[in-house]
Structure 1
């Protein structure tokens, strides 16, 4: 395998991680106020969402490429879920910090 192919696969992996992190953030922002999830920490909901999304993405990729699913694919998807979770939760906190620095207040806007 040459360096160009490796670079291409790494790029695909980063794109997939970004998409999964965005979907995780989006889903968590929508479902975190549901009655059954209000008492659970948002980080736990985000980790569970990332785990489900990564396993589903792995299953879809295996179906698309007609590859048999093995146990280590599932383990790799769960490890990737932790990385996706870190990307998803860190991203929202940084955006919130930037928003807070603007000192925007709804009561002051007329």
Structure 2
């Protein structure tokens, strides 16, 4: 795998996280106004929605592409669902802050 392919996959991953975060945010805003869900914390609703919608989207995508669904794809999707929930709750600023803290910086 060369660097161009790797960057292409990273771009797809970031785009997928952004789209899923948008979908989760919109659905959260719609269903939080329902009478039974007003007392539930918004963060809980976001995490549950992410954990449900991300695997559903992955299964739909893999079915559409005609690829086999394996256990490690579902496992990786569950981990990605927490990233989607994080982005949905706190936005890209929190993700950028984590990136900045983990990035190598040369101290002089």
Q: Bin the TM-score by the shorter chain.
A: 0.7 to 0.9
Structure 1 unaligned segments of length 5 or more: list them: 95-110
Whether the 8 Å contact between 1:54 and 1:77 is mirrored in structure 2 is yes
1:93 deviation in Å?
Answer: 9.4
Task: Give the equivalent residue in structure 1 for 2:64.
Answer: 64
Q: What's the TM-score once normalised by structure 1's chain length? A: 0.78
Separation in structure 2 between the aligned mates of residue 27 and residue 40 of structure 1, nearest angstrom: 15
Larger radius of gyration between Structure 1 and Structure 2? 1
Deviation track 1:12-65 (CA, whole Å, cap 9, x = no partner) reads 110010000011111101111212211211100001111112111110221122
**Residue aligned with 1:33, SS:** coil
- Alignment root-mean-square deviation, CA: 1.9
Q: What's the TM-score once normalised by structure 2's chain length? A: 0.79
Structure 1 stretches of at least 4 aligned residues deviating more than 6 Å after TM superposition: none
Structure 2 unaligned segments of length 5 or more: list them: 95-108
Whether the 8 Å contact between 1:25 and 1:88 is mirrored in structure 2 is yes
Task: Give the equivalent residue in structure 2 for 1:79.
Answer: 79
Alpha carbons of 1:93 and 1:44: their partners in 2 closer, same or farther (altered >3 Å)?
A: farther
1:68 deviation in Å?
Answer: 1.4
Task: Give the equivalent residue in structure 2 for 1:105.
Answer: none
1:92-107 correspondence to structure 2 within 5 Å: none
**Which one has a larger percent helix, Structure 1 or Structure 2?**
2
